[in-house]
Amino acid sequence: MTVVYDAGPLIAADRNDREIWAYHRRLLEQGRRPITTAPVVAQVSRNERQAPLHRLLAACRIIGFDADDAQEVGALLGRSNTSDVVDAHLVCIAERYDALVLTVDGDDIAHLADHLDGTVRHRQL
């Protein structure tokens, strides 16, 4: 199963949290390349000195936000009556890749996922 990192795991990695680094290492050892989204990366990137974050991202596939995503994300925001474009995009990507979302925002992710046709699973960090 593919894993999608939300902002929380990236922030934890940047702080050298042992739990996220162990989880990340296990994924890579299993040949599973985690993904995240460009908006999530933008949300957590602050400067070039975030070496742990950059090291983690180097092993991830980063999915961009393109014009085709805009209407899908907007429709999800409308159905869920929410406004967080970053989370909505992440959930749409998780559905597209049939992926598990690793997050610290389990309630927000679950609420958005409830408004999709598919099943998006999440795991609380």
pLDDT per residue rounded down to tens, the chain (125 residues): 899 999 999 999 999 999 999 999 999 999 999 999 999 999 999 998 999 999 999 999 999 999 999 999 999 999 999 999 999 999 999 999 999 999 998 999 999 999 998 789 999 98
How does DSSP assign 112-123, residue by residue?
A: HHTTSSS--EEE
3-state secondary structure 14-43: HCCCHHHHHHHHHHHHCCCCCEEEHHHHHH
Q: Residue 105: what pLDDT?
A: 83
CA distance 113 to 46: 28
End-to-end CA distance of the chain: 17
Strands (E), 38-78: 61-63
- Say what the pTM is: 0.94
